[in-house]
């Protein structure tokens, strides 16, 4: 069974601390995914066979940064915010990128300040 990676998949793996992806004949990266991996410093290691069989979920074996456990997948992306609410749109994008709502209070404090400063320039 082939495993496909998109640009978004690579971004999510980077957030999780992935440093290397083993690529064999069953792993396919889109062109944008390959470009993103290179720009984020994720090593794409071509192998004849992966060093371990793929997990039951079909994901290829991943090399994590030292002392960084594999975390659960990022939180689902919240629905898009109304176009007229820029602060909510920015917050939703940051939460989607981080994969957690852990920093909601901090985002609520910082985003309005940044937007206000941008409007004053």
71 in any annotated domain: no
Q: How far apart are the first and last CA of the chain?
A: 53
Looking only at Cα atoms, what is the longest distance across the chain?
A: 57
Specify the pLDDT at position 102: 84
**49 and 8 within one domain:** yes
**52 and 10 within one domain:** yes
Alpha carbons 44 and 53: distance in angstroms, whole number: 18
How many structural domains compose the chain? 2
Residue 93: enclosing H or E segment and its boundaries? helix 86-98
75 in any annotated domain: no
**101 and 56 within one domain:** no
Averaged over 84-110, what is the pLDDT? Answer: 80
Task: Give tens-digit pLDDT for 31-86.
Answer: 888 889 888 998 888 887 655 444 445 554 444 444 444 444 555 555 554 434 77
**90 and 53 within one domain:** no
Q: Is it the case that residue 108 has pLDDT exceeding 50?
A: yes
**106 and 58 within one domain:** no
Q: Determine the structural domain holding residue 32 and report its residue range.
A: 3-64
- Report pTM: 0.42
**48-57, 94-103, 105-114: which range is least confident on average?**
48-57
């Amino acid at each position: 069974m082939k495993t496909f990676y998109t640009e978004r998949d690579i971004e999510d793996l980077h957030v999780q601390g992935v440093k290397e992806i083993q690529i064999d004949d069953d792993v396919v990266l889109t062109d944008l995914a390959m470009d993103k991996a290179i720009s984020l410093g994720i090593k794409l290691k071509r192998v004849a066979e992966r060093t371990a069989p793929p997990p039951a979920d079909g994901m290829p074996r991943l090399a994590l940064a030292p002392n960084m456990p594999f975390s659960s997948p990022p939180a689902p992306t919240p629905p898009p915010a109304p176009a007229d609410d820029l602060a909510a749109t920015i917050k939703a994008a940051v939460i989607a990128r981080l994969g957690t709502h852990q920093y909601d209070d901090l985002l609520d404090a910082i985003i309005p300040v940044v937007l206000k400063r941008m409007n004053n320039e």
